[in-house]
Amino acid sequence: MLLASQIKELGGEIGLDIVRITNAESFPEAEKHIIESVEKGYIPENDYYVFKNISKRPNNLNLNKINKRCNPKSILKRAKSVVSVAQCYLIEEDDNIEDKNLLYGRIAKYDVGNFYYDVKLKLKKIVDFINQETDFKYKSKNKSCYISLTEKPIAQRAGVGWYGKNGI
C-alpha cells in the first residue's frame, strides 16, 4: 500500500473526516488574491499576517509575510507535500433541560470543544506514523499561531473543498 493511502487510512482511524495530500509548491494565485484584497480594503489594516504593524499608511503592506503565507517551503525548506485535513465539529446538543427555572443558553458548536488542539494531536500521530514507516525522519510544523499558510488554497488544491458559498 502506498504511504499516501496509509496516511489517509490512519486519518480515518484516528477520527479525521477528510485527509488529502497535495504538493508543496507555492500558491502565486493566492498571493495575488491577498494583495488585491488588501488594495480593495477587504482585509483590515490591523491584520497581523499582512501588515508590518498597525498603521494606516498605504505602503505598510508586508509582501514578505504574504509570500510566506503562500509558500509552504518558506516554513519547511525541503517540503515535498502538505497534508490537508478536515474534522467536523458538529456535536449532539442536549435540549433536555430538566429544570426550566435554571438559566441556560447556547454555545457555538465550534466553541464547545478544543478542536484545534485535537486536530494538532491527530496530525502529530500522522507524523509519527510517517517516521515509523520510512527511513527518513520527517519534520512537521504547525505554524497556526506564528505564520499561517493559506489554508483555503491548500485545501482546494488537495481536494478538500472549493471556494464559494458553503465551500471552504
Q: Residue 166 contacts by C-beta under 8 Å, 6 or more apart in sequence?
A: none
Q: What is the pLDDT of residue 52?
A: 57
User: Residue 51: phi, psi to the nearest 5?
Assistant: -105, 155
Q: Say if CB 26 and CB 73 are below 8 A apart.
A: yes
Q: What is the pLDDT of residue 75?
A: 85
Q: 40-49: list long-range contacts, CB under 8 Å, 24+ apart.
A: 49/147, 49/148
Query: pTM value?
Result: 0.76
* Vertex 111: Cα angle to 165 and 30 (nearest 5): 40
**pLDDT averaged over 10-residue windows placed end to end, the chain, 168 residues:** 93 96 96 87 73 53 83 90 89 71 75 82 93 79 62 92 66
Q: What is the pLDDT of residue 145?
A: 47
Give the CB-side neighbour count of residue 29, counting CA atoms within 13 A. Answer: 6
Q: Say if CB 154 and CB 84 are below 8 A apart.
A: yes
